Amino acid sequence: MPLSVCIRVPDNDKNIVAIRGAPPHVRRKNRERTVRYRLIRPQSGNGIKACTLVRDRYRIIRLCRSRLGLLHVRKKPLTLWGEKSRFMKRSVGPQTLLYPHPDLIVGTYDRDGRPNVMAAAWGGICCSRPPAVAVSLQKSRYTYANLMEQRAFTISIPSADYVREADFFGIASGKDVDKFAATGLTPVKSKLVNAPYVEEFPVVLECRLLRTVEIGVHTQFIGEILDVKVNESVLGEDGKPDVAKIRPFAYDSMRMEYYGFGEVLAKAFSAGREFRR
């Protein structure tokens, strides 16, 4: 059975971090705060630990059972966890949080053949063979109906020079406005699929719709990547696309900001070798 416990903490105790992963419900009583916790698995005997964050310092409170079968609090002196406190986690709820979110510009034609583009951050590569990419769209998007009808789309990756245009693609709808005309960017018909891409953006994926997956408020569109076209100007000396020249950017859905890419940190499939036994 779930069990509730009240912990009285002084008014200056700000944020209750966690008690065995259960969210605290906080209410004020007199000049103290009473924090009501729900223990998922009540422990018998001493030794249940709760942590409160007091101006960046962590305090450990020990809870123990009283003779009446209730739980009460015995406060211990302030304890600093030093290094370990850096890894203390706080729940921020079930959010659509992942780093980094891409900023994918999905290109489609409407039923009258008008080109449209929209920004999609809920997406990414989802299969290697066949090469495939998935984007999740809400039904209200103009692009949603276009994609259902045409069963083809492109994904253009904007460079940092076009962050304002890319943002506009995510705040205006093709129902109301011609986004290419508004930004002065150029729609180009893909050679392989019936969908337009943005000429000025350095990387373009041409995709045919493989399947859709109903998830909830979003429908996931999975597309097979039939070809990728890259501006010659962003190829490195080795002939491969050079991310430093492409200058893509990422989206932070929590702060609603765009971030540039940083420097190379390490070689993939090799930096971790030192841990191999």
Ligand X SMILES: Cc1cc2nc3c(=O)[nH]c(=O)nc-3n(C[C@H](O)[C@H](O)[C@H](O)COP(=O)(O)O)c2cc1C
- Residue 90 token pair: 């706080």
Q: Is the peptide bond before 130 cis (omega within 30 degrees of 0)?
A: yes
Give strand ranges (E) for the chain: 3-9, 15-18, 25-29, 32-39, 48-54, 57-65, 71-75, 101-102, 104-109, 115-120, 123-127, 132-138, 152-157, 187-189, 196-198, 203-214, 218-230, 249-252, 257-260
Among 19, 52, 143, 195, binds ligand X (CB under 6 A): 143
In terms of CB distance, is 142 or 162 closer to ligand X? Answer: 142
* Nearby residues of 47 by Cβ (< 8 Å), 6 or more positions away: 62, 64
Stretch that binds ligand X, among 64-72, 115-123, 236-244, 259-267 (CB under 6 A): 115-123
Q: Is 167 among the residues that bind ligand X (CB under 6 A)?
A: yes
In terms of CB distance, is 7 or 204 closer to ligand X? Answer: 204
Among 34, 43, 173, 212, binds ligand X (CB under 6 A): 173
Q: Is the peptide bond before 100 cis (omega within 30 degrees of 0)?
A: yes
Among 39, 63, 134, 137, binds ligand X (CB under 6 A): 137
Q: Is 147 among the residues that bind ligand X (CB under 6 A)?
A: no
Stretch that binds ligand X, among 3-11, 89-97, 164-172, 204-212 (CB under 6 A): 164-172
Among 122, 153, 162, 201, binds ligand X (CB under 6 A): 122
Q: What are phi and psi of 177, to 5 degrees?
A: -145, 150
Q: Is 142 among the residues that bind ligand X (CB under 6 A)?
A: yes
Shortest spacing between CB 122 and ligand X, in angstroms: 3
Binding mask 251-270 for ligand X (x = CB under 6 A): x-------------------
CA distances from 156 to 67, 91, 102, 212, 235 (A): 67, 35, 11, 20, 16
Q: Which of 69, 15, 71 is nearest to 38 (CA)?
A: 71
Among 52, 116, 154, 190, binds ligand X (CB under 6 A): 116
Q: Is 96 among the residues that bind ligand X (CB under 6 A)?
A: no
Q: Is 24 among the residues that bind ligand X (CB under 6 A)?
A: no
Cβ(189)–Cβ(206) below 8 Å? no
- Interface with ligand X by CB under 6 A: which residues? 103, 116, 118-122, 136-138, 141-143, 167, 170-175, 251
